[in-house]
Chain A
Amino acid sequence: MARFHSDDDAQLSTLRRILLGTVLLLVFLLFLVWRIDNPRVERLRTAAIEAIVPNMEWALVPVTQGGRMIDDFESYARVYEQNQELRRELQRMQAWREAALQLEQENAQLRDLNNVRLDPELSFVTGVVAADSGSSFRRSLVLNIGSDDTIQDGWAAMDGLGLVGRIAGVSERTSRVLLLTDNASMVPVRIQPSGQTAILTGDSTAAPVLEFIETPEQVRPGDRIVTSGDGKVFPDGLLIGQVSLDRDGRLRARLAADFERFEFLRVLRANPHQRIGDAAPLIAPQPEPAPADLDSAEEPAPDANDG
């Protein structure tokens, strides 16, 4: 059909081709800039997300409510069974509660004996999950707290039970949590009874892989996985989950946090790692004298005066 108005088309298509070429070039330049100066474009991205996501909240409410209602309805359907189950669980839990109380007392006594001071920096900020990553291959979330709430890159995000991921990307009112299941996530961990260290690597499945275990024979399914604090990525000893064995015989982590549906996450205010502010000097500068040292240096002085 196009052959009949070839004159018109020829002119149009030349113009079109020029336009097309220009647009392609510009978009490609954007990609190159992103590849070369990643942090700046990523900042642009967080700004874009910050501009859009808070506006989504009004629409998010009915949908999440709807999803929850469906969940609730499903559970109403077998309310009797659940009741029985809950009662059994309650009984079991009461036994555990007794045990926990006894342990707590014992723990407190031992702490008292040892003069342990708890780390005062381990406080947390709680945020509401505002959006998903949107991609099938990325596992991340957007929280509604940001640098206005003193959130910093690299802090650990947990749900009530276990580690969920770490903050990667902060803007004023939102921040992005890179989940443990994301491809880019690597966390140094320790497997509890044997003390083996490993790297927990996400592969976009629900259960991240445990890699670089020195003697895998000592690790058994069901062992506890906690963060090791190596490399100063996370504070030491945050619960991650349990070891499990997949069909290929690889060791994976069954995560303690409920990855099915997040609503609230707490972001731990502990920041053991060295911050990288610039893009260029990736080797961190010489550590300055830590504030803890200053404190201890000043503390004896008043004592001396008193004495």
Chain B
Amino acid sequence: MVDPFTLEIWLKRLLLLCVIIFMVFLKLLPLQSGGSNLPWPDLILCFMAAWAIRRPALVSLGMVVVVGLATDFLFIRAPGVWTIILILTFEALRVQARREGTMSFASEMGIIFVVFTSAFIANRLILLAFGVAQPPLGATVLELFMSLLFYPLVALITVFIFRVRHPDPTDLQGLRGRG
């Protein structure tokens, strides 16, 4: 008999992976290939962050690496840079989530703001340091802004549709132990 906690964790991980694959798929569809000026929010980052801040165990290191590398390769970015940043971002989120436990939405938004902004800045700095061609600054800032704007919506979907919430104090033992 499979331990129900383990089963739940793996089911939720699979669900997150499906959501991410769907997002990648949407981005790859040749629907608006021309030059619409408004960049899309980085929904993959939003979803992963919304899950990680609630249940760090659900966004494992392996998943972050696989998703980071796959999207780097598919979206014609410099392979590895965004992956490194994702790994560090989710390590930071994991530490934060462990320290804070259940948090209010305002403090969650605060953490997300700091983490996303530093991720975008770090990305630009690394690319700058290695002399890789970069998109214009304005567009990147706009994408960061859009991501922050869409984050509450993603958090809502995460809580009310996918039912990923901060763990109750009652089942804390079961979930923490497998973090």
A interface residue numbers (CB < 8 A to B): 1-2, 16, 19-20, 23-24, 27-28, 30-31, 34-35, 41, 44-45, 48-49, 52-53, 56, 59-60, 63-64, 67, 129-141, 179, 181, 183-184, 203-207, 259-262
B interface residue numbers (CB < 8 A to A): 24-25, 27-37, 39-40, 61, 65, 68-69, 71, 73-81, 83-84, 87-88, 91, 98-99, 101, 130, 132-133, 135-136, 139-140, 143, 172, 176
* Cβ contact within 8 Å between B35 and A2: no
Question: Which residue from B27, B39, B68, B73 sits with its C-beta under 8 Å from A132?
Answer: B27
Inter-chain CA distance A52–B39, complex, in Å, is: 24
Question: Which residue from A19, A179, A181, A204 sits with its C-beta under 8 Å from B139?
Answer: A204
B35 CB, nearest partner CB in chain A, Å: 3
Inter-chain CA distance A259–B35, complex, in Å, is: 7
* Cβ contact within 8 Å between B35 and A131: no
Question: Which residue from A23, A31, A131, A260 sits with its C-beta under 8 Å from B29?
Answer: A131
Question: Which residue from B24, B74, B99 sits with its C-beta under 8 Å from A49?
Answer: B74
Number of A-B contacts (CB under 8 A): 140
* Cβ contact within 8 Å between A34 and B33: no
Q: Do A259 and B79 form a contact, CB below 8 Å, given A35-B130, A49-B74?
A: no
Inter-chain CA distance A49–B130, complex, in Å, is: 25
Closest chain B residue to A136, Cβ basis? B39
Q: Do A35 and B35 form a contact, CB below 8 Å, given A48-B73, A133-B75, A134-B27?
A: no
Question: Which residue from A35, A49, A52, A59 sits with its C-beta under 8 Å from B132?
Answer: A35
* Cβ contact within 8 Å between B28 and A131: yes
12 contacts between A and B (CB under 8 A): A1-B98, A16-B61, A24-B88, A30-B79, A30-B80, A132-B30, A132-B33, A136-B39, A136-B143, A138-B75, A139-B35, A262-B33
Inter-chain CA distance A141–B34, complex, in Å, is: 10
A140 CB, nearest partner CB in chain B, Å: 7
* Cβ contact within 8 Å between B73 and A137: no
Q: Do A206 and B34 form a contact, CB below 8 Å, given A35-B130, A63-B29, A134-B24?
A: yes
Question: Which residue from A19, A35, A44, A262 sits with its C-beta under 8 Å from B30?
Answer: A262
* Cβ contact within 8 Å between A27 and B76: no
Closest chain B residue to A258, Cβ basis? B34
Question: Which residue from B34, B84, B99, B172 sits with its C-beta under 8 Å from A181?
Answer: B34
Closest chain A residue to B70, Cβ basis? A48
Question: Which residue from B25, B35, B39, B71 sits with its C-beta under 8 Å from A56?
Answer: B25
* Cβ contact within 8 Å between A141 and B79: no
Q: Do A141 and B39 form a contact, CB below 8 Å, given A27-B80, A59-B25?
A: no
* Cβ contact within 8 Å between A261 and B33: yes
Closest chain B residue to A133, Cβ basis? B76
User: Given the complex, which residues of B lie within 8 Å of A183, measured CB to CB?
Assistant: 133, 135-136
